[in-house]
Structure 1
Amino acid sequence: MFAISIVHLLNDSMQSTVSALFPILRDSLDLSYKQIGLIAFAMNMTASLLQPAVGYAADLKPRPYILPVGVGFTLAGIVALALAPHYYVILLAVTAIGIGSAIFHPESSRVAYLAAGSKRGLAQSIFQVGGNIGSALGPIMTAVFFVRVGQFGVIWFAFVAAAAIGIQTFVARWYRDQNVAGRKKAKAGALPLHQVGLSSRQVMWAVVVLVFLVISKHVYMSSISSYYSFYLIDYYGVSVKHAQWFLFAFLAASAAGTFLGGPLADRFGRRNIIWFSILGTAPFSILLPYANLTWTGVLCVLAGFILSSAFSIIVVYAQELMPGKVGLISGLFFGLAFGIGGLGSAVLGWIADATTIAFIMKLCAYLPLLGILAVLLPKDKHLYA
């Protein structure tokens, strides 16, 4: 579990170099907000479209060896991003990084599921908190590194990718051994997967509700991760370096929320924590655009902490709705998260060019109100016949 979480940290820290470079690229290549949004769109939509296919293929036949291969694509994208002289080369580089993520997340989530035992919420949180910590490193890298050395500094992450490939090779061997052991148990007459105490229609309705909750969460997260630093720079007059520390605080709080969400759901129920996490963010997100500099930082931290406790639980809840489809569900929801994040960045960039960054902050502040939809989810006791 900790090995796969560490690789998740390394993988997402490399991905976070893309958004970390946005303020640098805006100045060096004279990019518009629309172009910045399209960079995020290219990376995230590539991952979004490929992940369900990778997960479905893994359900049919697990392929442990593709774990290090996925990080290999990320390595290629990192090198290309460091050396990219033009905007279109940057788009190709982030597409390669998106392919790496598409391979990494569904198969790695299956590893977390295999290692979880009865603590699936905790296991999924351990896996995902690595990614959240990696994402949180992006603003730090901008504040202390990229502001000084610029775009070419990304090349140092080639060593991070090499380390991740080594760890993934170890994880792939464990994953292979578990699959062999699982086939032996199946031949010996192991117990079947649990049966869901819901009709097919109820299951599909619950999945649709979960999809809307993921949309509300990740469009809001995208508005903060892509544009909050610009909001602070343009409306509070802070420096690029200072703005990145605010963004780091939001992402660090998100990592803490992700880690705590799983254990809380194991104790208090999946549905209850999903409900609390998304709807409970609304008071803080709505107040954030109207606060002064100090309070906007405090409210952003609280919003990130509460909102991020939901995603790992949504994935586990969906996996339990559809037992035997762990790879497909993981690919679908991770892919949806990436796709909505990328599409949200692109659309919000267009809107920001036509209006203002402040308008984006105010518009997205109401998205967590969609958390009210969690009341439509079946109670946890209905997940088992």
Structure 2
Amino acid sequence: MPPNKSIGLLSLGHACVDVYQGAVAALLPFFVVERGYTYAEASGIVLAASLLSSLAQPLFGALTDRRPIPWLLPVSTALGGLGVALSGVSSSYPLTLLFIAVSGVGIAAYHPESARVARLAGRGSHRSMGWFSLGGNIGFAMAPLLVTVVITAGGLRLSPLLILPALVGGALTLPVLRRLEESLAADGGKGPGAGRDDWPSFVRLSAAVICRSIAFVGLSTFVAFQVREATHGGTTAGTAALLVLYLGGAVGTVVGSNLAHRWDRVTVVRTSYLIAVAAVAGVVFVPGPAIFLFVALTSIGLYVPFSLQVTLAQDYLPTRVGTASGITLGLMVSVGGLTSPVIGVIADATSLRTALTPLILMPALSWVLVRALPEPAVSKPQLQEMAGPAADSPQVAPE
């Protein structure tokens, strides 16, 4: 169970937001079937979701370092849902790109502030950040089911129904903001104020996150098509592959946050990337139903580091928690979309397998970048100074 009520609500709210990150990939097969989009056009939709989000998240993170902006949580949740909900209304490709980009901006505005608030509510605990990240993974996992149920029922014209998770998520944030209002005000919106920033380690970690993002977003964009080719299945096989990919992410996040209490975070992260190398190769080259096993292993290998990389980034930049969260989350969930059009163009010109093969190198590069990173030491007094008075669970000690 989550360590306190605020973390539980933040996790549920995060699930409602990240439904819309997963929804973009889940909508692609329907855009291809109903509107006849090519691989390149489909990957352009991912680019629209990723481009503004990648640029905006660090900016929102720097902004929240200057002062808390708690109202961003419900507003950005609504914006993220609105863009996806409108994406199926018009058959115009430019309008579809615009609506998806609007959703990307909403998601970008949500993550830095919500990660900072989660760090405060969880008092710096790895498990608390793991629970917060798990909510996002569950949202990703639910997206293919939600999109398939809604769009199969009546086509893309029913996409406005996809606004419902955003309405729920916005409502869930309100009690959290009330509980943490006094703590955020006392903290001045800055998170931790002690410690020295380790920019070299942060830059190396960010480069590893970029490689991880290219692998994951590239696979999430095209895994439905790859599995359909490997299994000779239809849209259902592609949807099942996305569900396995995202559910595996939820498992990986829980495993990662627990392993970090047995070994240090850097050891867990680099080991998971080695596993991911072999798993991605299996997705690309293994035919038949066995591909689902490698999809699951890929997801676990790429998601074990997820929440750990967020807390590592925050600890490498202890005086700039919002910036660290914005950059790390922005790179982790968005920047990979910038390379998706390249994969799409190569797939149209050659084959999907050829286009996906370079993704095998990405987790290997991440391993090279993180293998010598130091494990930052964060003292309990620093975490207590960062967290301020616990809003609803003062008995929870920092870990």
TM-score normalised by length of structure 2: 0.87
Distance 1:304 1:338, change over 3 A: closer
Within 5 Å, which residues of 2 pair with 1:220-259?
220-259=215-254
Give the Cα–Cα distance (whole angstroms) in 2 for the partners of residues 22 and 175 of structure 1: 38
Give the Cα–Cα distance (whole angstroms) in 2 for the partners of residues 381 and 66 of structure 1: 31
What residue number does 2:172 align with? 167
Q: Which runs of 5+ in 1 are unaligned?
A: 187-191
Is 1:104–2:110 an aligned residue pair?
Answer: yes
What residue number does 1:82 align with? 88
Contact 2:58 2:323 in 1 (8 A): yes
Counterpart code for 1:70: S
What residue number does 2:75 align with? 69
Contact 2:285 2:353 in 1 (8 A): no
What residue number does 1:133 align with? 138
Counterpart code for 2:223: Y
1:21-52 CA distance string (max 9 Å, x none): 11111122111111111111111111111111
1:180-231 CA distance string (max 9 Å, x none): 3435xx9xxxxx84424xxx6xx22212221221122111111221101111
Which of residues 343, 360, 377 in structure 1 aligns to 2:373?
377
Q: Identify the range of structure 1 (14-23 vs 141-150) with the bigger mean alpha-carbon deviation.
A: 141-150
Identity percentage of aligned residues: 27
Contact 1:147 1:241 in 2 (8 A): no
Note the C-alpha offset of 1:292: 2.7
Give the Cα–Cα distance (whole angstroms) in 1 for the partners of residues 301 and 83 of structure 2: 32
Give the Cα–Cα distance (whole angstroms) in 2 for the partners of residues 15 and 153 of structure 1: 18
Note the C-alpha offset of 1:233: 2.0
Distance 1:215 1:176, change over 3 A: same
Distance 1:229 1:321, change over 3 A: same
Within 5 Å, which residues of 2 pair with 1:139-158?
139-158=144-163
Is 1:312–2:307 an aligned residue pair?
Answer: yes
1:258-313 CA distance string (max 9 Å, x none): 12212321331111111112122112222332323222111121121122010211
Distance 1:78 1:223, change over 3 A: closer
Counterpart code for 1:173: R
Is 1:195–2:179 an aligned residue pair?
Answer: no
What residue number does 1:325 align with? 320
What residue number does 1:180 align with? 185
Contact 1:74 1:99 in 2 (8 A): yes
Give the Cα–Cα distance (whole angstroms) in 2 for the partners of residues 150 and 16 of structure 1: 18
Which of residues 6, 10, 13 in structure 1 aligns to 2:12?
6
Which of residues 342, 351, 357 in structure 1 aligns to 2:346?
351
Give the Cα–Cα distance (whole angstroms) in 1 for the partners of residues 162 and 332 of structure 2: 24
Give the Cα–Cα distance (whole angstroms) in 2 for the partners of residues 154 and 53 of structure 1: 30
Note the C-alpha offset of 1:316: 0.6
Note the C-alpha offset of 1:235: 4.0
Give the Cα–Cα distance (whole angstroms) in 1 for the partners of residues 310 and 165 of structure 2: 27
Q: Identify the range of structure 1 (318-327 vs 333-342) with the bigger mean alpha-carbon deviation.
A: 333-342
Counterpart code for 1:244: T
What residue number does 1:32 align with? 38
1:63-120 CA distance string (max 9 Å, x none): 112221112312431342231231111111111101111111011001111012252x
Note the C-alpha offset of 1:325: 0.8
Is 1:54–2:60 an aligned residue pair?
Answer: yes
Which of residues 259, 269, 276 in structure 1 aligns to 2:271?
276
Contact 1:320 1:383 in 2 (8 A): no
Note the C-alpha offset of 1:60: 0.6
What residue number does 1:287 align with? 282
Which of residues 199, 204, 216 in structure 1 aligns to 2:199?
204
Which of residues 115, 121, 129 in structure 2 aligns to 1:124?
129
Q: Identify the range of structure 1 (232-241 vs 252-261) with the bigger mean alpha-carbon deviation.
A: 232-241
Give the Cα–Cα distance (whole angstroms) in 2 for the partners of residues 331 and 108 of structure 1: 10
What SS does the aligned partner of 2:69 have?
coil
Contact 2:248 2:299 in 1 (8 A): yes
Q: Which runs of 5+ in 2 are unaligned?
A: 1-6, 383-399
Give the Cα–Cα distance (whole angstroms) in 1 for the partners of residues 287 and 82 of structure 2: 42
Contact 1:5 1:127 in 2 (8 A): yes
Q: Identify the range of structure 1 (142-151 vs 309-318) with the bigger mean alpha-carbon deviation.
A: 142-151
Contact 1:260 1:309 in 2 (8 A): yes
Counterpart code for 1:195: G
What SS does the aligned partner of 2:68 have?
coil
Contact 2:145 2:239 in 1 (8 A): yes
Contact 2:230 2:287 in 1 (8 A): no
1:114-149 CA distance string (max 9 Å, x none): 012252x21211111111111112222344442342
Give the Cα–Cα distance (whole angstroms) in 2 for the partners of residues 319 and 244 of structure 1: 35
Give the Cα–Cα distance (whole angstroms) in 1 for the partners of residues 213 and 81 of structure 2: 26
Distance 1:361 1:79, change over 3 A: closer
What SS does the aligned partner of 1:134 have?
helix
Q: Identify the range of structure 1 (170-179 vs 355-364) with the bigger mean alpha-carbon deviation.
A: 170-179
Distance 1:381 1:177, change over 3 A: closer
Give the Cα–Cα distance (whole angstroms) in 1 for the partners of residues 375 and 24 of structure 2: 39
Q: Identify the range of structure 1 (365-374 vs 57-66) with the bigger mean alpha-carbon deviation.
A: 365-374
Contact 2:73 2:113 in 1 (8 A): yes
TM-score normalised by length of structure 1: 0.90
